[in-house]
């Protein structure tokens, strides 16, 4: 009984998970884009207000899940260092291949390729 119930239950859980995450992505896509921000210095500290292109304040932005993987590319890594290969370097000696001799004449055959192209 448990062996039959496990695939059905896991399919239902995965379907619900897909529905919930797709709703989250739809909300993230519908967010207003932030065009700038105002920084207000008051007696209580700094306050940042994010505004759209018309100057209207927008709510706190969240990372869009479509572009979240692109943030991993923004991590600064040290560039790879190019070092001289270890070992001895010698000249490359090229050996010319022997020429193979072919027949001097070609006989035309019914099913062969044409003699002259």
Per-10-residue mean pLDDT, the chain, length 117: 82 89 68 70 78 79 61 66 78 77 67 70
- In the chain, what are the domain boundaries? 2-74
pLDDT of residue 31: 60
DSSP E strands, 44-101? 45-51
Q: How far apart are CA 21 and CA 26, in angstroms?
A: 9
pLDDT of residue 13: 94
Per the confidence metrics, is the pTM higher than 0.75? no
pLDDT of residue 27: 66
């Amino acid at each position: 009984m448990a062996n039959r119930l496990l695939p059905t239950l896991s399919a239902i859980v995965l379907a619900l998970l897909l529905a919930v995450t797709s709703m989250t992505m739809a909300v993230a896509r519908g967010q207003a884009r932030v065009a700038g921000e105002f920084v207000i210095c008051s007696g209580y500290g700094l306050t940042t207000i994010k505004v759209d292109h018309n100057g209207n304040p927008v709510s706190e932005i969240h990372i869009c899940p479509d572009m979240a993987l692109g943030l991993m590319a923004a991590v600064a890594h040290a560039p790879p260092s190019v070092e001289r290969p270890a070992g001895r370097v010698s000249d490359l000696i090229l050996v010319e291949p022997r020429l193979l001799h072919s027949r001097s004449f070609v006989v035309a055959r019914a099913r062969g390729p044409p003699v002259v192209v």
